[in-house]
């Protein structure tokens, strides 16, 4: 996928997620099946997943490469990245640490949704400032997938939100 396609997918998948969240009643927003996250926990997790990437992309490419390294391989395709993520999930990988959702009040829903959509637009703006060549060169850490190129990380962000929307 090229930049325009990735940006479109990021916007669409996050907007679809937000629409699903906003269409829930307050009870449905906070309800959870046993050993599963509620919709508010899904929303909080997605917000917590996007913020570090926005923060990282505020750094120049040279600083990112100095800190996390440069890729010595081609970026995986979107489908290849999705398969890799699904495999680690099948093997028991789960969110941890800073990516775990905290308590959210129903009254926080609109603010979280607005912040998420703003963060996605900021992510797109910051990613657009890098060349596609840099997207395949910059490595970024991922908590369960190890190091991903920036392109792969953007693929992940587009898929990740869809993965969590399926559980709502």
Looking at the structure of the chain, the number of domains it has is: 1
CA-to-CA distance for 37 and 55, rounded, in angstroms? 26
Q: Is the pLDDT of residue 98 over 90?
A: no
- Assess contact for 143 and 96: CB atoms under 8 A: yes
CA-to-CA distance for 48 and 27, rounded, in angstroms? 23
| pLDDT tens digits, 28-44 | 998 888 888 999 999 99
CA-to-CA distance for 145 and 138, rounded, in angstroms? 15
Query: What's the CATH number where 40 sits?
Result: 1.20.120.450
Rounded to two decimals, the pTM is 0.93
Domain that holds residue 128: 3-165
Q: How many CB atoms lie within 10 A of CB 43?
A: 28
Q: How many helices (H) and strands (E) does the chain have?
A: 8, 2
- Assess contact for 138 and 129: CB atoms under 8 A: no
For 149, the enclosing helix (H) or strand (E) is: strand 146-149
| pLDDT tens digits, 110-157 | 999 999 999 999 999 999 999 999 999 999 999 999 999 999 999 999
CA-to-CA distance for 65 and 77, rounded, in angstroms? 21
Give the position of tokens 């308590």: 103
Report the chain's mean pLDDT, rounded to a whole number: 94
User: And the tokens for 92?
Assistant: 């028991």
């Amino acid at each position: 996928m090229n930049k325009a396609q990735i940006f479109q997918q990021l916007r669409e998948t996050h907007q679809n997620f937000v629409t699903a969240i906003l269409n829930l009643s307050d009870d449905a927003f906070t309800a959870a099946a046993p050993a599963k996250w509620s919709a508010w926990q899904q929303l909080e997790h997605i917000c917590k997943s996007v913020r570090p990437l926005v923060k990282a992309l505020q750094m120049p490419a040279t600083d990112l490469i100095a800190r996390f390294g440069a890729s010595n391989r081609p970026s995986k395709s979107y489908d290849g990245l999705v398969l890799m993520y699904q495999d680690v999930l099948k093997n028991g990988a789960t969110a941890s640490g800073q990516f775990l959702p905290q308590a959210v009040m129903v009254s926080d829903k609109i603010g979280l949704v607005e912040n998420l959509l703003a963060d996605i637009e900021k992510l797109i703006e910051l990613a657009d400032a890098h060349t596609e060549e840099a997207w395949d060169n910059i490595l970024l850490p991922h908590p369960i997938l190890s190091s991903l190129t920036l392109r792969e990380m953007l693929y992940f962000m587009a898929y990740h939100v869809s993965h969590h929307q399926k559980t709502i």
